[in-house]
Amino acid sequence: MLKALATLFGGGVEAAPLPLTGTLYAIGDIHGHADKLKALLAQIAADAANQPGPITLVGLGDYLNRGPDSQGVLHLLRHGLPATWQTAFLRGNHEQKLLEFLAQPALHAEWLSWGGAETCQSYGLNPFNATGLRNPAALAAELEHALTETGDLPWLQATLLYHQAPPYSFVHAGVRPGLSLAQQMPEDLLYIREDWLGRPHGLPTVVVFGHTIMAEPLLLPDRIGLDTGAYQNGPLTAARLRANQTPVILQAT
């Protein structure tokens, strides 16, 4: 079921989960702030140098939109990490909406008002003309070309709907309580909020998520929330996770 749903949404499907070994760093919603990401990655690299075992970096999605340098964010994530690190990059609702805009510009032109206009500008495209917003189909064609030329489009298409590294599971928005990860609908993994927050989820792992902005990182026995509003002048937040150890928060402002 998950494979079919992931194909519908264009996401990758990961293999059977392996328990967390070594150290994992999960990063919350970046939203086009390459400056904060660069500073946070430097902190993570310095911290990781003192950690035993393999290093894994997990992105929780929403790399794009709203901030000034979405292209720079993807460049750092694709080319700016140590070759020895393992990675898993989840899809956020903003990446999903971008892919829908590219496929059906007229139906999903609202992506531009979600901060997509800023993403276009980061790729050197002007989404406006003298009378307002340009024709969405023409703009989508130009953006698809730019994303293909940089190699960012296949990277975005391969983002995952979730990642597992027991005792942790990673999603963008949350999960619908009472369902296993394999039973989750992509719409919930990407968008859920009210039906998830404050409710026991019933999974055997700690769920690490972004999507919902919080003034401080959320650290609870069953969940960890890492979206601290980087695009709203908040810090960009990461959590260092190791099996059987208390999470450690790292932030860049």
**For position 85, which CATH number holds?**
3.60.21.10
What would the pLDDT profile of 93-139 be if each residue is shown by its tens digit?
999 999 999 999 999 999 999 999 999 999 999 998 878 888 999 99
In a domain, 153, yes or no: no
Contact predicate 28/252, CB 8 Å: no
In a domain, 232, yes or no: yes
Confidence at residue 14, expressed as pLDDT on a 0 to 100 scale: 58
In a domain, 183, yes or no: yes
List the structure tokens of 203.
């999974």
Confidence at residue 9, expressed as pLDDT on a 0 to 100 scale: 60
Residues of the domain holding 225: 2-91+160-252
Strand (E) or helix (H) holding 90: none
> Coil, strand or helix: which one is 198?
coil
Confidence at residue 17, expressed as pLDDT on a 0 to 100 scale: 80
Confidence at residue 163, expressed as pLDDT on a 0 to 100 scale: 97
In a domain, 132, yes or no: no
Confidence at residue 11, expressed as pLDDT on a 0 to 100 scale: 59
In a domain, 56, yes or no: yes
> Coil, strand or helix: which one is 163?
strand
Average pLDDT, the chain: 93
In a domain, 123, yes or no: no
In a domain, 114, yes or no: no
Domain count, the chain: 1
Ranges of residues in the chain with a pLDDT under 50 are 1-8
Contact predicate 111/92, CB 8 Å: no
Scanning the structure block, which residue is given the tokens 């150290």? 23
Strands of 61-146 (E only): list them: 86-89, 128-129, 132-133
For the whole model, what pTM was predicted? 0.93
> Coil, strand or helix: which one is 89?
strand
Those residues whose C-beta lies under 8 Å from the C-beta of residue 60, and which sit 6 or more positions away, are 26, 27, 28, 29, 90, 92, 170, 171, 172, 208, 209, 210, 211, 226, 227
Confidence at residue 236, expressed as pLDDT on a 0 to 100 scale: 98
In a domain, 230, yes or no: yes
